[in-house]
Every structure is written in C-alpha cells, then in structure tokens.
Amino acid sequence: MTTVREAAPHPTVRTVPLRAGGGLLRHLPADAPMAWVHEGEGLVAWGEAARITLPAEDDPGGVARFGEAAAWLADLAARAEVHDAVDAPGTGPVAFGAFTFDPRSAGSVLVVPRVIVGSRDGRAWLTTIGDRAEAHPGEILSRVTPMRPVGPLTWSEGALEPKEWEAAVATAVARIRGGALAKAALARDTFADAERGIDARTLLARLVRAYPGCYTFSVDGMVGATPELLVRREGDRAASLVLAGTRPRGETQDDDDMLAADLLASTKDAEEHRYAVDSLREALEPLAEEVEIPDRPRLLQLANVQHLATPARATLLPGATTLDVVAALHPTAAVGGTPTPAAVELIREIEGMDRGRYAGPVGWIDAAGNGEWGIALRCAQITGSRARLFAGCGIVAGSDPETELAESEAKLRVMREALAD
C-alpha cells in the first residue's frame, strides 16, 4: 500500500463564531461523522476537504507515519487561505486522525473535514473548508436525519476464543516470569453484525451520555469512548493521563469501596501502573524543558470500571511538534508493555490478530499545533453493518488468565451497551 494524498491545491478556510448552546452531536449528518467530545465540549465534523492515508512501515519501531502526516498537514496549512475570527485551539484548519498501533500495519489516516463545529469554554464556532474562495462547501447544507437504532445483532468471536485467549495470557505470564520482559498488554476482539448499516451517531450519543468524563471519538469508522488522554497540547504546554490497573465498579457502595481499596492496595496493579508512568516520563523528557508527575496515582472511577490514574504535565522544547510527542509516547506501556520492543513482538506472536487502529493514537490537531490525542480504547471499528470490538489488559508476572478475561469482558461492555437498543 502506498501513501494516498487527497487535497485541493489552495483551500479557503473560514472560522466564524456561533451562538453557544445545544449538543454538538445534533449537527452531525449520518455519513462518515467525525467527533471528539469530552464533558459536552469538543469538535464534530463531516465531509472531506483533504485526506492522507499512510502505508505500513518495515521498521517494527517505526514512526515515519507520524512525520509524514505532520509534513502533509503543514504543507496544506501553508497553502490555505485562512480567515479565523475566533482564533482559539480547534479553529482554522483542523485534521482528525487515527494511527495504527503497529507501524507494520497500514491504514493510519489524517482527514481534514469540510465542515467543523466546535464548542469550548462557553464559546462556539463554525469552520468551513472549501476549494474556492467565493463559496462555502456544499457539505455545510448536509441534511441531518434522525439517528437510527442499531437493530438486532449477531455476535461472533474474534481471532481467539475465550479459552484460547486465556492460554495466550498464560503464555505471556510464563515469558514474563522467565525474564523475557516485564509487562505485555494483550487484547482480544469480537464481532457484532447488524441487519443494516450501523449509524455511528447513535453510538456516539449513547457513549457521550454514559461516559461524559471520557473522550468520545469517531474518526474514519473508529468509534469509542477512551478514558486515556495521550496528550493535550496548547502552546508549549502538554498534559497527559496515565491509566493502568483496573477493577470493575461494584453493585453496591460497600462492594464498590472494597474493589477500590483492593485496587489501591494491589502490588500487581501498582507494578503495572509504575511501568506505564516510567514509560511516559522516559518518552517526554527528551522533548520537554520540564516534566511534572505526582509520586502517587489517584483513583479514576468511570461508569463501568475504575483505574489507577496519574496526570502528567510538561513544558515542551521549541520545535517539538504535537505529532513528535504523539510518536514519542506511542505505544505507552499501558497498551504495549515493558520493554516496548519485546512486548510488541510478543503481542504480534500470540494475539493472533492485526489490531489495526485499536490502541493507536486518535484525536485532532489544528494548524497551530494545538490538539488532543487519546488512545483508541473502549472502541469498535464500524464498517457498514459490522462492528469489530476490542478490549485489552496489562499482563504482568502476577496476572491470572481467568481474572484478565473477566477484566476484558468489563471493558467490552462499553461498546456492547452502545450497540444495544
């Protein structure tokens, strides 16, 4: 597969203020909606003004796809005629992106939409990107139809049956105990087939309602609600959130408190979390003047699970681009393992599947370099009437296969419920 680039030679970009109010998702038409929404704010978009689709790389540790995407976007921005009456992060030319977990997988993509609606800090705006200076793109008049229910589903297993995946976890534990590596994050997939095309907006609306504290996204068919912020960039400041170590939520308050206490006291989960924090620090330090990370994790409780969480902040060095930071941080120990090269090779050996863009960076970036990028977790790849769901767990020496399978089921529940009418 070769690099595919699509763009007008000299696009015209206009951003104008809108009256704030109303939900962002109400603007979206059904065809290929794009979104990044967190606690009611963010960006939604549709249409395509430009796209770059990147091929697989030969280098198992390669980051060329990030550099090529950044260069393409910078060239597009340099050729654009921009009229920005709002001048805030997320205005002007914006690209939505989803990158593959493994550089040896094809399909990383950046898409510059035709129409973008944004909302943040009580302000709202509309951006249009057209091929002619005197006209708005036709997509601005795209008809918004009612969101469709998903309908009946037929479920089927993915690459590995549950018992086969437990065996893969046992293999990983044996390799870890044998000293080959310290941690591996293993994932599994499952499929849901509907009777007609799945309306991504329906899933987005359900995810936004159920998980307002997560980053709900839709990029090129990859739809989900991730709790994991890889990087938020504004000016020279960057922020990230490490999540590693998980328990389900309890059926009662007492049960919930007991599970939370167990997570906070767990040596196994503390070890897994420490690997993820150390990985983040090591990746950020060459790009930053200063990195601030608390000594202890806190508890992050979501609707279905609770995690150990550590926020991090950094002041970036001059010249460090957003996609430089994304490339340096990916894959984190939370979705790859420690050490990363050995963990990624083990993943390729025993998972039995190509993750595609699952557990890869997903998010948006504007022409000034501002942006928000998460890790594509708690998600599904939607292709017509089929949804491919993913979930993964961090495996260390103390991992138990049955427990890890139960944790993966808890994580799959996010998208199972989003698909259920």
Beta bridge partners of 393: 186
Q: What is the pTM of this model?
A: 0.92
Q: Domains along the chain? A: 4-136+149-419 (3.60.120.10)
Q: How much is the pLDDT for 142?
A: 81
pLDDT value, residue 334: 83
Contact by Cβ (8 Å): 395, 378 = no
> CA–CA separation, 351 vs 72, rounded Å?
33
Angstrom CA distances, 375 to 8, 19, 25, 360, stand at 30, 31, 21, 6
**Residue 303 carries which side chain, given as an amino acid letter?**
A
CA distance 389 to 377: 10
From first to last of its 421 residues, the chain has per-residue pLDDT tens of 567 666 667 899 999 999 877 789 999 999 999 999 999 999 999 999 999 999 999 998 999 999 999 999 999 999 999 999 999 999 999 999 999 999 999 999 999 999 999 999 999 999 999 987 776 787 887 889 999 999 999 999 999 999 999 999 999 999 999 999 999 999 999 999 999 999 999 999 999 999 998 999 999 999 999 988 899 999 999 999 888 888 988 989 999 999 999 999 999 889 888 888 988 899 899 999 999 999 999 999 887 788 999 999 999 999 899 999 999 999 988 899 989 899 999 999 999 999 999 999 999 999 999 999 999 999 999 999 999 999 999 999 999 999 999 999 989 999 999 999 9
Side-chain half-sphere CA neighbours of 311 within 13 A: 7
Find out whether 238 and 369 touch, Cβ atoms under 8 Å: no
Note the pLDDT of residue 190: 98
Pairing label, strands 386-395, 183-194:
antiparallel
The confidence score (pLDDT) of residue 131 equals 85
Are 345 and 60 contacting, i.e. CB atoms less than 8 angstroms apart? Answer: yes
Tokens of 303: 């609707």
Q: Which positions are catalytic?
A: 183, 228
pLDDT at residue 415, rounded to an integer? 97
Task: Provide the pLDDT for residue 7.
Answer: 62
- Relative to beta strand 237-248, strand 288-292 is unpaired
E strand intervals along 113-236: 115-120, 123-130, 153-157, 183-194, 215-219, 222-226, 229-234
Query: Which pLDDT belongs to residue 298?
Result: 92
- Rounded Cα distance between 268 and 216, Å, is 29
Rounded CA separation 149/382 (Å)? 15
The per-residue pLDDT for 1 is 52
